[in-house]
Amino acid sequence: MRALSAFVVALAAVLLLRSTALSAFAARGIVLDALAFATVVWSLRHGPAWGSSFGFALGIAADLDAGHWLGRHALVLTLLGYAVGRLASTLVRESTRTQIALLITATAIHQTWSALFELTSWSAWPYLALRIVLSTLASAALGALLLAIAKRLAGGPLFGNVSVQPGQTR
Amino acid sequence: MAGMLPPAERRTSALVALYVALSLLLLLIGERLPQAILRGAGATLFAPLDRIVLAGDRLAASWRENQRLHQRVTELELENARMRDAVTENSQLRERLGLAVARDLTLRPVELLALSGEPVPASATLSAGWMQGARAGDVVVTSDGLVGRVTEVYPASSRAAMLTDPNAPVACVVESTGVLGIVRFVNAPRPRLLFTAVPFTDTVRVGQKVLTSSLSRRYPRGIPVGVVTGIGRDPSGLMQLIEITPAARMSRLRHVFLLPGPGPVPSGLAVPAPGAAPPVPAVRR
């Protein structure tokens, strides 16, 4: 029950942040990918089953909010959640380098997939490529910084040490 | 292969397969589902939370905005006195020419709760629904100009398609020359607002203002839409490619106003009163 409440609260928080604070950045051309960030963090912490469920629920909500292409975000975030969740058991999850690498990969995949739906002509690809690169770098840098701050505030590891598998507690 | 996996991993794989299948199914048939009902439920659920999140930001901005608004009110009151005189003169002249007299616009202030769409926000959630008198088709404006149009109305909130929605074109006119065209937002090759369908025989210059035209069935005439910032050639080579900057500051929207949309008969096609002189045809210069 507690896990489900955390799941719903995290979903609502990401969607709220996306439609309020982050939309102002998006209007200025800087897309901070909160969806990919949240899916990566959730999957690192809770493993593949919860990661893919979180990605799917977040994706469906984002698709509904965007008002078109239902299933677009849901598909890619489900797969990202599953992949990161699977990798989480073999990675040093507390390492900033690991987090940056995962955030870069996940944001790049998510943004590229979203951009494919907007590619109406080949003349658009330089702009879209630039947007993907900027979004990936900005999201990864800000995401890693947020995780570092959260770790400092928590006073301990965010994802547990190597002996603790994702989705389990000590 | 599935038999080789431990039970927990089998369950996870089955779950992911289900999600992927559902996502693909939604990609194929999602357009046929009643999305407006689901979005309405979401908007109603999120509206109080949006208000809480935005409260801090708005409190900080309100003091500065209040000072600016006091100054603006004084300026506008002075300007209004001059305008009232001009309005009386204008309506007398229009009456003598048999032209339809413009109706008064009633502004209803509403709060903008959330923006959605990517990369550029294309729709907005507003704090007024049918219980507050909002109707589908109402026009959304700020003091700077046009923002969009209400497309879906829920009990206590509504959703508006913004000028930045590629599927919401607006019939417009250049203020000083009367050149007609369609303003539409395009995402490719980069997001921008274009004034399209303008032939090379019409002269448009950088800096000219673009307003909603009387030919629009969805917007009242004369609302500022943007300013011309660049002129080029359409890929077809037949039309001009005119780029405009929106009059309303789309990235800084907090409060907007609702205007009732035009009725079923566009204002430009109003029938003159019996016995009145025929309307003077518009001359395009």
As a whole number, the mean pLDDT across chain B is 81
pLDDT in tens, B97-147: 887 766 667 888 898 888 887 777 888 989 889 888 899 999 999 888 999
Token pair recorded at residue B168: 């919401």
Domains of chain B (ranges, CATH numbers): 36-162 (2.40.10.340), 170-259 (2.40.10.350)
Going by the DSSP 8-state scheme, the letter that residue A156 receives in this structure is S
* Residues 226-285 in B contacting A (C-alpha not used; CB under 8 Å): 250-252
- Nearest residue to A86 (alpha-carbon basis) of A55, A53, A43: A43
The CA distance from B46 to the nearest CA of chain A, in Å, is 8
CATH architecture type of domain A2-154: Orthogonal Bundle (1.10)
The CA distance from A157 to the nearest CA of chain B, in Å, is 26
Q: How far is CA A36 from CA A69, A80, A110, A130, in A?
A: 18, 8, 7, 18
Q: How far is CA B46 from CA A1, B34, B84, B115, B196, in A?
A: 22, 19, 43, 12, 37
Residues of B in contact with A83 (CB under 8 A): none
What's the rounded Cα separation, in Å, for the pair A79 and B241? 41
Report the pLDDT value the prediction gives residue B54, as an integer from 0 to 100: 75
Token pair recorded at residue B49: 């939370």
What's the rounded Cα separation, in Å, for the pair B17 and A42? 19
- Nearest residue to B243 (alpha-carbon basis) of B225, B226, B231: B231
Percent of chain B with pLDDT over 90: 23
Report the pLDDT value the prediction gives residue B262, as an integer from 0 to 100: 72
Tell me, what's the ipTM? Answer: 0.85
What's the rounded Cα separation, in Å, for the pair A28 and A34? 16
Q: What are phi and psi of A86, to 5 degrees?
A: -65, -40
**Rg (Cα) of chain A, in Å, rounded?**
16
DSSP lists the bridge partners of residue B233 as: B240
Token pair recorded at residue A7: 């799941």
- Nearest residue to A165 (alpha-carbon basis) of A62, A43, A54, A2: A43
The residues spanned by each domain of chain A are: 2-154
CA within 13 Å, CB half, B285:
5
Residues of B in contact with A29 (CB under 8 A): 119, 191
pTM over 0.80: no
Q: Which of B5, B10, B19 to mutate to probe the A interface, most A CBs <10 Å?
A: B19
Report the pLDDT value the prediction gives residue B284, as an integer from 0 to 100: 36
- Decide if pLDDT at A30 tops 80: no
Chain A to chain B, count of Cβ pairs less than 8 Å apart? 138
The per-residue DSSP string of chain B comes to: -GGGS-HHHHHHHHHHHHHHHHHHHHHHHGGGS-HHHHHHHHHHHHHHHHHHHHHHHHHHHHHHHHHHHHHHHHHHHHHHHHHHHHHHHHHHHHHHHTPPPPPPPPPEEEEEEEEE-SSS--EEEES--GGGT--TT-EEE-SSSEEEEEEEE-SS-EEEEETT-TT--EEEEETTT--EEEEEEE-SSS-EEEEEEEETTS---TT-EEEE-TT-SSS-TT-EEEEEEEEEE-TTSSEEEEEEEESS-TTS-SEEEEEPPP-SS-GGGPPPPTTPPPPPPPPP-
pLDDT in tens, A130-145: 889 999 999 999 999 9
Going by the DSSP 8-state scheme, the letter that residue A91 receives in this structure is S
Nearest by CB to A19, which of B35, B39, B115?
A: B115
Contact (CB<8Å) B27/A75: yes
Report the pLDDT value the prediction gives residue A143, as an integer from 0 to 100: 93
- Decide if pLDDT at B268 tops 70: no
pLDDT in tens, B211-255: 999 888 888 888 999 999 999 888 777 888 899 999 988 877 878
Contact (CB<8Å) A126/B121: no
Which residue did the predictor score with more confidence, B183 or A69? B183
What's the rounded Cα separation, in Å, for the pair B178 and B283? 8
pLDDT in tens, A4-15: 888 888 888 888
